[in-house]
Structure formats: structure tokens, C-alpha cells
Chain A
Amino acid sequence: EDQVTQSPEALRLQEGESSSLNCSYTVSGLRGLFWYRQDPGKGPEFLFTLYSAGEEKEKERLKATLTKKESFLHITAPKPEDSATYLCAAQGIQGAQKLVFGQGTRLTINP
């Protein structure tokens, strides 16, 4: 059974304090690993897709990386507006491209 686990559940940082969020996955043939941002009361907003181990993608202060078992979302010099829940999802080659989500990491950046 495909599974995605995110850690930590919650993370509180000071503005400018860099850190990383972890996403461990177990899927039968990874088709894609996705990162989303979710603000309170809103739907998940797509950030990145990673397809193969070693791949990296960047957007502003965020960088996502992928290994054969994990993905990391690195946050460099975060600002309070980066506060949100970050969701990781994996898509395997089976199951009609369904996304299996982790439970998310709730990130708070204090000014």
C-alpha cells in the first residue's frame, strides 16, 4: 500500500531561520512527488513536482529535493508570509494517478 509520512507535524521558526521539512514515501513505482502549500480555510496550492532521485526545484525561498525514499522542502531565510501547512503527496504508477497525501507540516514563522 502506498504511504506518505511527513515530519515534523509542526515547526515554529524565527524569521530568517532556515530549516527543512521531511516527506518519506513508499509507493509502487514513483510517477511523481508533489509539494503543496495550504493556507487556513483554503484549498492546497501546487508548488512543485519532482520525478526522479537527484532532482531539485526552487521557487523563491523554497527548494524541493528528492531521493529514492524521501523528499525535503528546504526553506531559506523564511518570512512570516511563509507560514502555512505544507503538504507532500506521492503518485505511483498504479491507481490511475491518485495522489496519496501525508498529514502535512504546519509551519509558523515568527517575526
Chain B
Amino acid sequence: NAGVTQTPKFRVLKTGQSMTLLCAQDMNHEYMYWYRQDPGMGLRLIHYSVGEGTTAKGEVPDGYNVSRLKKQNFLLGLESAAPSQTSVYFCASSAGGGQGRGEAFFGQGTRLTVV
């Protein structure tokens, strides 16, 4: 019963490098989200998806891209990493679709440092 699994857990990138963060959920949830968490800023939504093949921008989407080719996976890409993208990234999923289905369940996080 894994829930939401993020890969990798830690990563150090050089400025300008690219990488992809993988999120996998085994709860058959429709909705998936990517958040970043920074000290004093709380959790901020980067991108989200309401179903396979769909993506939408959140509060802080610049510098990131996402894809949801399979229902269980949600990928977050950084094409050219910048020091401002140093953060802890959390993936979450929810059943969606109405009241009582909005609870989001989170992964354990990916700590990314861009030097």
C-alpha cells in the first residue's frame, strides 16, 4: 500500500541542467498536483492535472513543465534549472469529482538543490 511515491528523494543540479521528477500513485486517483514548499512561503501549487492527458497551470508554473501520459503518473520537468528552483517538491493526488473526494494525499517529497 504505497500511496504516493516520489522519485528521487534528493538531487543536486547545476544551473542550466535539466531533470524530471516522477510521481506515482496507486489509489486510482483522478487528480494529481505538484507543489513546492519554501521556508516562510508555505505550499504553492506549480501545476496540476484533473485526469490522464490533461494538465493546467497553478500559482507558480514558470520554469516547469508537466505531463500526465498515464493516470497513475505525473511528471514534473525542469528544462534549465535555476537557483531559485531550490526547494522541496511535493506531489499529491486526490479522488476529485465532488464533495467528500477532495482530500489530497502527499508523497514524501523531493529535496532539490540547484547550485
| Chain A residues in the interface with B (C-beta under 8 A) | 31-32, 34, 36, 41-46, 49, 51, 87, 89, 91, 96-104
- What are some 24 contacts across the A-B interface (CB < 8 A)? A32-B99, A32-B102, A32-B103, A34-B102, A36-B106, A43-B90, A43-B106, A43-B107, A43-B108, A44-B43, A44-B90, A46-B105, A49-B100, A87-B42, A89-B43, A96-B56, A96-B96, A97-B102, A98-B48, A99-B43, A99-B92, A99-B104, A100-B45, A101-B44
With an 8 Å Cβ cutoff, the count of chain B residues facing the other chain is: 28
Given contacts A31-B99, A46-B104, A49-B102, contact A101 B109 (CB under 8 A): no
Within 8 A of A (CB), among B60-115: 90, 92, 94, 96, 99-100, 102-109
* A-B Cβ contacts below 8 A, count: 65
Residue of A nearest to B94 (CB): A97
Is B41's beta carbon under 8 Å from chain A?
yes
Given contacts A31-B99, A43-B108, A103-B41, contact A98 B90 (CB under 8 A): no
Provide the residues of chain B in CB contact with A96, threshold 8 Å.
31, 48, 50, 56, 96
Cross-chain contact of A42 among B33, B48, B94, B108 (Cβ < 8 A): B108
| Chain B residues in the interface with A (C-beta under 8 A) | 4, 31, 33, 35, 40-45, 48, 50, 56, 58, 90, 92, 94, 96, 99-100, 102-109
Provide the residues of chain B in CB contact with A45, threshold 8 Å.
106
| 4 residue pairs, one from A and one from B, having the closest CB atoms | A43-B106, A103-B42, A101-B43, A32-B102
